[in-house]
Structure 1
Amino acid sequence: MERPRNPEHGDYASTIALQVGKKAGVAPRELAAALAEELGRRPGIKSVEIAGPGFLNIRLDAAAAGALARDIVLAGSAYGKTDRLTGERINLEFVSANPTGPVHIGGVRWAAVGDALSRLLRTAGAEVGTEYYFNDAGSQIDRFARSLLAAAKGEPAPEDGYGGGYISEIAANVVKIEPGVLQTDDPQEIFRQKGVDLMFAEIKQSLTDFGVHFDTYFNEKDLHDRGELQEALDRLREQGHIFENDGATWLRTTEFGDDKDRVLRKSDGDWTYFAADCAYYLDKRKRGFDRVVIMLGADHHGYIGRMKAMSACFGDDPGKNLEILIGQLVSLVRDGEPVRMSKRAGTVVTLEDFVEALGVDATRYALARYSSDSPIDIDIDLWTSASRENPVYYVQYVAARTFNVAINARDKGVTRGEPDDFKPELLSHEKENDLLKALNEYPGVVARAAEQRAPHHVARYLEEVSGAYHRFYDKCLVSPKGDDPITETHRARLWLNDATRTVIANGLSLLGVSAPERM
């Protein structure tokens, strides 16, 4: 079933007779005729026409189509929820920026898209655990600690260290917390511990202010402390995929399509980052998640092959148990030129920079509006403008307009009345029908967006609904003019108006964007 682009072809069209006629041993047009006869007997079906070799064009009567408005209003926030993914336990990891600096522009994209995706998956019935992997072990933390120590001493950052104003801020805060830190035997270790805590607290607060909350913050260090890397190694050895070479311990990932085998433990006894990846994946699976979804930046394409192979080495089905999503680059643009410098981070644009430029709603909508596998330029001038060219303004304007239409209707004495008194057959105007068709698509859009991991489908859909509502608003009065009497048509249209606000609010909520009552 699909909505035909040409309204002359009806409300719905189906090619099922063409698809299954031959398999059923029946000529497609003959099967279409039988289906049309049966469908024609069903309540709510106005007509069924056969076109060409067996297309079915179906029209609903006005009452059947209009009844949707009441159904949506009564369902409220539940409208659009499905059981498509019921029974799936999904671990969704996103952002996972190292605690060596603020969340940068790539992480901002994953914060918006990942949070929207978690909402979508839950709306489609899945049990979802959102997770932030906190890399608090390894050489990058050592470089971070050395950079803080240098800043505290008033020295230049180490050659391989981190720069930016935030380093000086955190170093000063560590000294404030531990006044005698520079006189201790191991000041770098103190800067390491306190600095990481302060940086990560700042990251968490930035994400919270952005409306993103994680169910679990998982520390890499815990994997080491609990012996989970050794446990993963032992499990892989039991599976028969471990071998020793040049004093190092390797995982034979080439057996499952990787371009080379991977070292888990180096000859000096140190674990590799990949060993921690293996242990972390196993930890998620032990916690009962059927599917592990990991959202990574554009520079991680090479990561996919080794992770899929690792999943197979554990005896899992990579196509079922592991899913890796790659997000492409984002640029923030002003006056046609990229914004390259952050006030605090120096060389990158951060989450705070993004929100300061656009606001939370516009940032979240802008980043979720595009397929994550496409590079995008976010134009500050466009996304802060109060115009219909600004997609988030266009949609939020409808949210506000539907609210105010309802208020104005109430002030003029127009109420919806009881659900049983609703007369859906009065919603027979062409623009009413177009809006009803658009609203009817919402549950399907949500289900597809969840299954395809594509929140941008929701944003684009909301823009289509907004256009349909504006055309309805221009042609169909919800409140009477002047002293004209209130009619049942006005009441029916108020149901449709309120149904539109419900859908717009539900869709914006999936994107983590507000549905304002006033603009």
Structure 2
Amino acid sequence: MRAGVRESARAHLPRYTVTVTPEELSSAVSACLQDAVAAGELTAVDGVDLPEAKVERPKNRDHGDWATTVAMQVAKKVGRNPREVAEILVRRLAEVPGVKTVDIAGPGFLNITFDAAAAGELAQSIVEQGAAFGTAQGLAGTTINLEFVSANPTGPIHLGGTRWAAVGDSLARILGAQGADVVREYYFNDHGTQIDRFARSLLASARGEAAPEDGYGGQYISEIADDVLAQHPDALESDDPQEVFRATGVELMFSQIKSSLHEFGVDFDVYFHENSLFEDGQVETLLDQLRSSDALYFEDGAWWLRSTDHGDDKDRVVIKSDGNAAYIAGDIAYFKNKRDRGADLCIYMLGADHHGYVARLKAAAAALGDSPDAVEVLIGQMVNLVRDGEAVRMSKRAGTVVTMEDLVEAVGVDAARYSLTRYSVDSNIDIDLALLTKRSNENPVFYVQYAHARTCAVARNAEAAGVSRTDADGEPQFDAALLDHPREADLLAALGQYPSVVAQAAQFREPHRVARHLEALAGAYHRWYDACRVTPQGEGSVEPVHHTRLWLNDAVRQVLANGLDLLGVSAPERM
């Protein structure tokens, strides 16, 4: 039993809030369980905490609105058989306002049914909460540094980086909706050999020469080279032309990257320059610190990080035998920098070729005496563009690489962001360009956006027909008991699940859960629209049910808008 819990189940919740979300119903069931222990009806084994109850929608809706297996979960912990526990919980749950029936099935399943009025209260609650519906404070007080995209400033953002831009920004929004203070960070890789190759490629283009064998190609190289010459006409005659093209070229390329991201709806709080770690001595200071600790060991003339302790396939060199820092030294210094800036948790979103970094970054945390759990690494898989089942290669500026600009030009920002976010990052995905340009229900983003536009159209038609949510005195015209159609029960259930979907998306770092739920909600709404009228038919008079259904219609509009905003996708009022 959780210490200090003695209130009755009825004292835990306002009159109707148990019907608003599955979490609140779960809390009511948990409160009943705790009350039964407090009253001596159940006795918990000493030192054993009882689990929080969870509810879910039964597959067969004839079994009730919600079901829970908590009686079976706690039976051994309280020394009773599951059905005995269930019988005790039934008596207490029956006293919870809004609960119509509680039935025991099988070995101890509890099936809970609400009366229509209790279920319908949700519609008014959502409208009144507005944009706050679906938010929570579970991560309040936690500062999360979320690093994503971080593409090298040597070319336009390719399709993999575009996926991270969409998913990363959505994840930042979702974590923020759970109360976290999220710092969006872009790691600007301006230290290393790739920048040298980029500079040599620009210089070769400016001289009219072929790109170096290890250099970069594509139209964008010649465009940036021309822009460098426009700013520095005498660059080719300078003492160090490569340095001119390096400094100015990187600045121009990164400016284009930031502009592309902004147009994609993604902006960062911090643009961190890798080179700064070396220029201001952070790496060298850290290496001196690590040499005197047991985080590293010396062997074969080099200093090694014990990364195998954290799942790496081999220990990694941090200080090479020539005394120079290896690449991972910068990673360790960068993690320390993030923590020094106040990050409680550092999330890195990396591409499919960075699996090895998971153990290395956790080892970096441990080397600093920090918890490896302060590091999370999300690995994203590949994205392919297809049309009619064939791979698409359509870049105008970057050779065979498909860029963010290519995708946006083909399908628009909304379709691009939605399509990249609606899949788990663990999976390779094929983006069908032909599908995403269709204005039909086959197109997932159109399907959801059209549902929102339809709710707006219904509201406009309702206003024209004299249907409103409030009367002349501003009092609500709402009778929850009138929302008793089976389609309304389904729609209310989908609305009620939204907050838990957002919470789970934050917990598991999976924004695609929000997208998929919006599609389910849109489907429930379209079916309700076909079965239930908000406005009178023909010359019929306006009835109380019409006013009440307008509340439900507007609740759907609010939830669709809230969810689309978490995905960085617009919620159009007309389509």
Structure 1 and Structure 2 fold alike (TM over 0.5): yes
- Show CA shifts across 1:134-188 (max 9, x none): 0011110000000000000000001111000000000000000001111111010
For residues 554 and 517 of structure 2, the distance between their equivalents in structure 1, rounded to whole angstroms, comes to 18
* 1:428 correspondence with 2:481: no
Among 182, 194, 197, which residue is 1:143 paired with?
197
Compare 107-116 and 245-254 and name the one that shifted more.
Answer: 245-254
How many residues align? The count is 518
- In 2, are the aligned partners of 1:239 and 1:314 still within 8 Å (CA)? no
- 367-376 or 418-427, larger mean C-alpha shift: 418-427
Q: Aligned residue for 1:485?
A: 541
The answer to whether 1:229 aligns with 2:265 is no
Q: Structure 2: how far apart are the matches of 1:30 and 1:176?
A: 83
Q: 1:123 aligns with which of 156, 177, 185?
A: 177
- Who is 1:207 aligned against? 261
**CA displacement, residues 363-412 of structure 1 (integer Å, 9 cap, x when unaligned):** 00000000001000000011111111111010000010000100000011
- 1:86, CA displacement in angstroms? 1.9
Counterparts of 1:312-327 in structure 2, within 5 Å, are 312-318=366-372, 320-327=373-380
**C-alpha deviation, 1:305, in angstroms:** 2.0
CA–CA separation in structure 2 for the residues paired with 1:253 and 1:426: 63
Indicate the residue corresponding to 2:528 in structure 1: 472
Distance 1:440 1:355 in 2: 34
- Displacement, 1:245? 4.1
Residues 235 and 314, structure 1, Cα contact 8 Å, conserved in 2 = no
Report the 3-state secondary structure (helix = DSSP H, G, I; strand = E; otherwise coil) of the residue aligned with 2:78: coil
Q: Which amino acid aligns with 2:387?
A: R
| Structure 1: stretches of 5+ with no match in the other structure | none
Q: What's the Cα RMSD here? A: 1.2
Counterpart of 2:163? 109
- Per the alignment, residue 168 of structure 1 pairs with 222
Of 427, 431, 449 in structure 2, the residue corresponding to residue 378 of structure 1 is 431
Alignment of 1:71-470 (within 5 A): 71-318=125-372, 320-417=373-470, 418=474, 420-470=476-526
Q: Aligned runs of 1:59-70 on 2, under 5 Å?
A: 59-70=113-124
CA distance in 2, matches of 1:95, 1:280: 16
**Residue 341 of structure 1: CA displacement?**
4.2
Moved more, 394-403 or 419-428: 419-428
**Match of residue 89 from structure 2:** 35
CA contact 2:102–2:110 (8 Å) conserved in 1: yes
Deviation of 1:347 after TM superposition, in Å, equals: 2.1
SS at match of 1:22: helix
Question: For 2:570, what is the secondary structure of its paired residue?
Answer: coil
Q: CA deviation at 1:76?
A: 0.6
Give 1:28 deviation, angstroms: 1.3
Deviations 1:51-85 (A, max 9, x none): 11211111111111001000000111000001122
With CA pairs under 8 Å and 6+ residues apart, which has the higher RCO, 1 or 2?
1
Give the superposition deviation at 1:480: 0.6
Larger mean Cα displacement after TM superposition, 4-13 or 308-317: 308-317
Distance 2:332 2:70 in 1: 46
Q: Does 1:15 align with 2:69?
A: yes
Task: Write out per-residue CA displacement over residues 85-121 of structure 1, whole angstroms, 9 at most, x where no aligned residue.
Answer: 2222111000000000000011000000000000000
CA distance in 2: counterparts of 1:24 and 1:254, whole angstroms: 43
Shift in Å, 1:310 = 1.9
Query: How big is the shift at 1:339?
Result: 1.2
Matched, 1:496 2:570: no
**Distance in 2 between the 1:471 and 1:178 partners?**
63
Separation of aligned partners in 1, 2:394 and 2:460: 46
Contact 2:477-2:547 within 8 A present in 1 as well: no
| Residue ranges of structure 2 left out of the alignment (5+ in a row) | 1-54
**2-structure distance, mates of 1:124, 1:425:** 32
Q: Look up the match of 1:513.
A: 569
Q: What SS does the corresponding residue of 1:346 show, helix, strand or coil?
A: coil
Tell me whether 51-60 or 359-368 shows the greater mean CA deviation: 51-60
CA contact (8 A) 2:98 2:117 kept: yes
User: 2: CA distance between counterparts of 1:439 and 1:239?
Assistant: 54
The structural deviation recorded for 1:255 is: 4.1
Q: Secondary structure of 1:345's match?
A: coil
CA contact 1:415–1:491 (8 Å) conserved in 2: yes
